[in-house]
A and B are shown apart, each in its own frame.
Chain A
Amino acid sequence: QKEVEQDPGPLSVPEGAIVSLNCTYSNSAFQYFMWYRQYSRKGPELLMYTYSSGNKEDGRFTAQVDKSSKYISLFIRDSQPSDSATYLCALGGSNYKLTFGKGTLLTVNP
Chain B
Amino acid sequence: KAGVTQTPRYLIKTRGQQVTLSCSPISGHRSVSWYQQTPGQGLQFLFEYFSETQRNKGNFPGRFSGRQFSNSRSEMNVSTLELGDSALYLCASNIGGGSIYEQYFGPGTRLTVT
Contact = CB atoms under 8 A, between A and B. Distances in A.
Interface of A: 32, 34, 36, 42-46, 49, 88, 90, 92, 95-103
Given A32-B100, A95-B56, A98-B43, 11 more contacts: A42-B107, A43-B90, A44-B105, A46-B104, A88-B42, A90-B43, A96-B50, A97-B48, A99-B45, A101-B42, A103-B43
B58 A43 contact: no
Contacts of A34: 101-103
Interface in B17-34: 31, 33
**B interface, how many residues as a size bin?**
20 to 34
A96 B45 CA distance: 10
B101 to A, nearest CB: 4
A97 B58 contact: yes
Given A43-B90, A102-B42, A32 B101 contact: yes
A97 B90 contact: no
Contacts, number: 61
9 contacts: A32-B101, A42-B108, A45-B105, A49-B102, A96-B31, A98-B33, A98-B103, A100-B35, A101-B42
Contacts of A99: 45
A100 B50 CA distance: 21
B107 A96 contact: no
A46 B42 contact: no
B66 interface: no
B22 to A, nearest CB: 15
